[in-house]
Chain A
Amino acid sequence: MNLNAAAAELENNPQTAAGRTVYVYEAPVRLWHWLNALCILVLACSGYLIASPLSSTPGEASDHFLMGYIRFAHFAAAYLFAVAFLVRIYWAVVGNHNARELFYLPVTDAKWWAGLVRELRWYLFLEKQPYKYVGHNPMGHLFMFLFVTVAAVLMICTGFALYGEGAGLGSWQDRLFGWVIPLLGGSQATHSWHHLGMWGIVSFVILHVYAAVREDIMSRQTMINTMISGHRTFRD
């Protein structure tokens, strides 16, 4: 299938006909999305404050537990993030087609590549309008895969490896994830990768929020509302 044929097929997809409304994101997917957003917010802020602490507290050490509380917030949010991710993987298996999108890239699909090129051109102001998609457009799909799925796996692995250092040798965190530390060249290097991962996710969040708002205004389908109600309406 060449790119033109792929484009034609995308344009004439009856599923995305004007005025049609499709149920895309099931409740667990939507719940996970917003929970994930909250976790990332708490994790990024508390993580930043662990690496670059606030100004020192005055008086006796026994009067304060500031770093303790910040670290607690980080670890609690991290557990929630990890458990939610596991449940999300389960839902990818039992949920609908759209729930699986985050976990694979259809690199053998010419249609997907055609859509990716079109989407890139759309963002470079070279196309008058983008294609319509029930789920993610290929560009969104690519970013989701890299900065949500892959990044989450990396952050969970490095994060629990670092947590295992405090939990101690022989703790389940150490037994499951401890191998990461020598692999990355030591504890300090693992910290550095964990920092880089955080900045990667923060950069993604900026682009993600912008793209969602922009697409909601500019594209031919609903975006933000879809992640709330689960339904996507095609405008033209």
Chain B
Amino acid sequence: MTETFYDVLRRQGISRRSFLKFCSLTATSLGLGAAAAPRIAHAMETKPRTPVIWLEGLECTCCSESFIRSAHPLTKDVVLSMLSLDYHVTLMAAAGHQAEKQLDEIKKKYKGNYILAVEGNPPLNEDGMYCIEAGRPFIEILKETAADAKAVIAWGACASWGCVQAAKPNPTRATPIDKVISGKPIIKVPGCPPIAEVMTAVVTYMLTFDRLPELDRQGRPKMFYGQRIHDKCYRRPHFDAGQFVEAWDDDAARKGHCLYKMGCKGPTTYNACSTVRWNDGVSFPIQSGHGCIGCSEDGFWDKGSFYDRVTDIKQFGIEANADKVGGTAAAAAGAVVVAHAALTALKKAKKSDSAETVTGDK
């Protein structure tokens, strides 16, 4: 089969004009400049389509839900047609044995040439029995499918970090996919869910250029996870000026001042929400008046309250944060000093008393 993207698009009734507009938009959103648009068009016209297999483990399908809301209808059409042709348990028409047969066929036919996109993660406890698909533990399916993949995409916080099912105490031992897949390039696209346009852009980049986008230390594409929410937040001038919301219903909240004091995790969260935004660029949490909860960060469920920027330290028995523990230590040091000084003075006074007594006796 040598069907190209362009063939698929035309089959879907998309005009050449719309196709070229899509190429320009993609070039712009990837930060590639105008010269890249013809290259994208050329690639999509000539390259055989790379199949994508989309597996779902322990997850809530929010990644898929986000994905199908990609703002540009063209992108949606490309990706939807592509995925329905291949494998995505939620979106494809086939079910049961037909669907599994389809998966086997793709794996054989495109061995070493398909992209594996994973939503959710495998639980490892009880031999993986907490997530059974088609009668088998998900971990087996994941490992088999990954073995013949060209590259692996970890969708969302689940596949990237573990997310809520891996939150302490993690009874099923839900494990991020990079801990169970080895020897394959893995790109992490964290978020709960990730932004739709980020997802489609990552897929488009990989299909178009036949390689992974540039990744940061933690395996995330730099172009979307290179900066914090805080760095590009439209409320940043209020932060720099020292203008904060102090309560959810105060005047500053109405005026849209910085949510730092309300525990906004924008300063510690890497994502593109403050630039790409959500729902066709309509808004994002901070714009709607609520702080960022840091859903694209590693272990965000275990980092204490969503309204606190300092992590709770559970080792101290009661839940306390760094400032409470540290403040207590400093206060204790102060108290020790005062007590010790008092005792020293007392001792010294006693000593000079007895010295005087000795002199007096003489």
Contact = CB atoms under 8 A, between A and B. Distances in A.
A204 B336 CA distance: 12
B239 A210 contact: no
Scoring B226, B237, B330, B348 by chain A CB atoms within 10 A of each residue's CB, the highest score goes to B330
B298 interface: yes
Interface in B218-256: 218, 222, 226-228, 231, 237-244, 246, 252
Determine the main DSSP class of A at the interface with B.
helix
B21 to A, nearest CB: 31
A186 B336 CA distance: 35
Contact of B241 (A61, A182, A188): A61
A53 B261 contact: yes
Interface in A1-34: none
A51 interface: yes
B32 interface: no
Contacts of B252: 56
Interface stretch (A95-103, A162-170, A228-236): A162-170
A206 B310 contact: no
Give the interface size class of chain B. 35 or more
A210 B323 contact: no
Contacts of B329: 199-200, 203
A178 B217 contact: yes
Contacts of B281: none
B268 interface: yes
Give the interface size class of chain A. 35 or more
Interface stretch (B53-61, B102-110, B339-347): B339-347
Interface stretch (A63-71, A74-82, A84-92): A63-71
Contacts of A195: 310, 322-323, 326
B279 to A, nearest CB: 26
A64 B243 contact: yes
Contact of B326 (A125, A181, A196, A214): A196
A195 B228 CA distance: 20
A207 B337 contact: yes
Given A56-B257, A188-B265, A68 B330 contact: no
A185 B310 contact: no
Contact of B269 (A54, A181, A187, A210): A187
11 contacts: A52-B323, A165-B228, A169-B222, A181-B217, A186-B298, A187-B270, A188-B294, A192-B311, A192-B322, A193-B322, A206-B334
Interface of B: 216-218, 222, 226-228, 231, 237-244, 246, 252, 257, 260-261, 265, 267-270, 294, 297-299, 303, 309-311, 313, 321-323, 325-327, 329-330, 332-334, 336-337, 340-341, 343-344, 347-348
Given A53-B244, A64-B240, A192-B322, 7 more contacts: A57-B242, A57-B243, A66-B240, A191-B309, A191-B311, A203-B329, A210-B341
